Structure 1
Amino acid sequence: MLPDREDAVVRWRAAGRPVAGYVGADVPVELLTAAGMLPLRLTGSPGEDASAGRERLGGGLDAVACSILTRLLDGAYGHLDVLVLSRDCEASLRLFYVLREIRRVEPSIALPPLHLVDVLHLPHHTTTRYVLAKVRQFRSWLEAVAGRRIDDDDLAAAVAAHDRVRGLLRETGTHRGHRRLTGTEALAAVSAVTAMPIGEAEKLLRELLSTLPDRQPRPGRPVYLTGSSHDSPEVYRALEDAGLLIVGEDHDWGDLLAVTDIGAPTELAIAERYQFGGPAAPRASIAERAAHTAAAVRDRGAETLLSYVRLHDDAPPWDFPAQREAAGVPATLVDRQEYGHIDLAAVVR
């Protein structure tokens, strides 16, 4: 049984230590750890009314951003000492601008200091220089709000620890190829480790890995999941309850979160890791996505490919024809789905 993701946050706050909420996989969490903060990746909640966030963000936007904004306004995350967003997709960027405006014109709403990490993903040296400048800017901002310097030893320790956790997540993924772990269990592990101190995350994953070799294969037809990301388990659970077994995925709450390491404890290495952090749907070319998905389908032994796409998440459907052709297995696109829901009739035939 994995711990509730709130437990570590409560204990961290009780010790008087700062919590950094963040949105998007492009936030360099190593710098948050090096600054003595707990990186807490914020999630939406499909079962909660998100009308307050939708009213402020406007229509035509992925429901996850609306849900996160609603929860921030309602105080669902408790006290956050800082809030950091990345430009991983259009919804995250708009969320940043709306939060910044709320802080400016509605001081009665208690929002913490806010920062945008603007990571770009073009494969050019000029892009690397741009991202490096943004990493350095983020480091300076954190030092100012934390009231302490992030020294090179702290940064080196944080980079090494986060790389170890990424390595353990990749090792966990290999067990999914042997069907020793359900997709719902794997998603829960990612959710847990993105809400706890990095040392506890490493311990949790090592304990989980120690149990996997003796497990019997999980039942279900192995399927590889592409399309929209999933920050909550409802869709995974529905698919696996219907007789499928999710053996891998290419979104950043799953396998894509740990696809590359940083290695050297330098600002340049951090910039390069986030610039080239894996072919996510909102930022990679169709060819890159197709090649990555096809290789993962083969590596995990998936018999089918399923593209699940939420309403107002416009990037994934463009990828699907090339992914289907490259994967060479039966493939299904389930488009325009409500957050946290899936039309199983379109999947299970």
Structure 2
Amino acid sequence: MSLSSLLVRALSDPLNAVGSRRAIGYLGWNVPVELILAADAVPVQLGALPGCGTELADRFLENSFSAQSRIVAQRWLDGGLDALDAVIFSRSDDNAQRLYYYLCELQRVGVCKGPKPLLYDLARIQRGTSVAHTMESTRALAAALRVDESRLPAAMERVAVREKMLAELSKRRTADEVPLGSVAYRIERGARTDWSEEFDRSLQEWLSNCATGAPRKRVLLVGSAPADDRVHNAIEVDGTVVVGEINEASFLAPRAAVSGDSVETIARRYYDRTNAISTLLQSPADLVSAARALRADGVIVWMVATDTGLAWQAPRIERALREASLPTLMLTSKPQTLNADTLDQIAQFRRTLEVA
């Protein structure tokens, strides 16, 4: 099957790739997929689906929940996730953490059934006790998933191979001739959803033959992780190309030093990852350096209203980018769905880049 067909299958519904195998879902960006693979299960990242209503979820969730969380709740309540053995919720994702507690309570009072909810309690503070807590949480999660520790080295290698290809894709986007950003981001989303070896083969073939072009203008997209291709498609008009993203979804986990204990290595890797992206988003100087490395002609900072943690960083990010003379469009406190006003702002920003 071609990579394009695999992406359609995975992104139309991540459960399409499950088949009859044991499957474990997860919500959030910092969940150790290695543990799911070592538990002889199919990892399924849950998120937004095209055309999925949220009528049941709206009865229980406030407006502060993200669109992805609302859709996961909807599918949980209507039985659409019953095929999953369990679902892991990342504590480092505020929406995922809150949804975990809501669903546990709804199960307790008998409103719904569904898979077993599990919380991955990854600490975010940079101190020794946080590292120790994350290692303890990782061991607890491994036990809950019934991980076969003898399978962990192979699972870690499996993830390393996938991320090596994604790193190659990111490298291609720094060149003079680049693939469309919407295509690259679609591949990154699919790579978190379809963990089949067929996907690896198709991605490798695509990397060997991918179509590229010289963009007229290069844009860096910073902030919230888009749930689909619409933000990229709105930007990529008349030769403008998104050459990179800085958000929790697109950030590859750094390779932790391998210790004799595989669970400890995995725990350290995800602890380092969540702190690395937090540090980057809180360091405007590093964002400027990233934009320079990508030779960005402009930066769009897109933050959805439900991503409350990012809002505190917006003024510092804007000031640093403007002081660096990087044309910047601030789109903050936005709804998940692009509205006419946002589309007009993006179009006007593209026109200013053309005359710059």
TM-score, normalised with respect to structure 2: 0.85
Residue aligning to 1:193:
191
Residue aligning to 1:62:
66
- Of 87-96 and 174-183, more deviation after overlay is shown by 174-183
Matching of residues 32-181 of structure 1 within 5 Å: 32-45=36-49, 47-77=51-81, 79-106=83-110, 109-143=112-146, 150-152=148-150, 154-178=151-175, 179-181=177-179
Maintained 8 Å contact 2:17/2:194: no
Residue aligning to 2:204:
206
Inter-partner Cα distance in structure 2 for 1:47 and 1:238 = 19
The alpha carbon displacement at 1:43 in A equals 1.1
The alpha carbon displacement at 1:278 in A equals 4.6
Matched, 1:341 2:338: yes
Maintained 8 Å contact 2:56/2:78: no
The alpha carbon displacement at 1:151 in A equals 2.5
CA distance 1:298–1:197, change in 2 (3 Å):
same
Matching of residues 241-252 of structure 1 within 5 Å: 241=237, 244-252=240-248
Inter-partner Cα distance in structure 2 for 1:286 and 1:297 = 13
Inter-partner Cα distance in structure 1 for 2:190 and 2:163 = 13
Matched, 1:235 2:231: yes
Maintained 8 Å contact 2:174/2:243: yes
Provide the secondary structure at the position in 1 that maps to 2:182: helix
Maintained 8 Å contact 1:304/1:331: yes
Residue aligning to 2:181:
183
Please provide the CA RMSD for this pair. 2.4
Inter-partner Cα distance in structure 2 for 1:221 and 1:278 = 31
Amino acid paired to 2:270: Y
Residue aligning to 1:299:
293
Maintained 8 Å contact 1:160/1:263: no
Amino acid paired to 1:62: S
Maintained 8 Å contact 1:248/1:296: no
Provide the secondary structure at the position in 2 that maps to 1:44: coil
Maintained 8 Å contact 1:260/1:278: no
Name the % identity.
Answer: 24
Maintained 8 Å contact 2:89/2:118: yes
What 5-or-longer segments of structure 1 have no aligned partner?
144-148
- Of 222-231 and 30-39, more deviation after overlay is shown by 222-231
Provide the secondary structure at the position in 2 that maps to 1:276: helix
Matching of residues 257-336 of structure 1 within 5 Å: 258-262=252-256, 264=258, 266-278=262-274, 283-284=278-279, 287-288=282-283, 290-327=284-321, 328=324, 329-336=326-333
Inter-partner Cα distance in structure 2 for 1:341 and 1:318 = 22
Inter-partner Cα distance in structure 2 for 1:231 and 1:262 = 28
Maintained 8 Å contact 2:44/2:194: yes
- Of 192-201 and 115-124, more deviation after overlay is shown by 192-201
Maintained 8 Å contact 1:22/1:83: yes
Inter-partner Cα distance in structure 2 for 1:7 and 1:309 = 25
Provide the secondary structure at the position in 2 that maps to 1:315: helix
Across the two proteins, how many residue pairs are aligned to each other?
334
CA distance 1:336–1:242, change in 2 (3 Å):
farther
- From 242, 249, 255, the equivalent of 1:253 is 249
Maintained 8 Å contact 2:126/2:275: no
Maintained 8 Å contact 1:324/1:330: no
Maintained 8 Å contact 2:79/2:114: no
The alpha carbon displacement at 1:91 in A equals 1.1
Inter-partner Cα distance in structure 2 for 1:202 and 1:180 = 21
Residue aligning to 1:23:
27
Inter-partner Cα distance in structure 1 for 2:22 and 2:49 = 24
CA distance 1:62–1:298, change in 2 (3 Å):
same
The CA deviation string for residues 105-155 of structure 1, in whole angstroms up to 9 with x for no partner, is 126x33111100010121211110000000000011111xxxxx5123x10
Maintained 8 Å contact 1:242/1:348: no
Maintained 8 Å contact 2:253/2:270: no
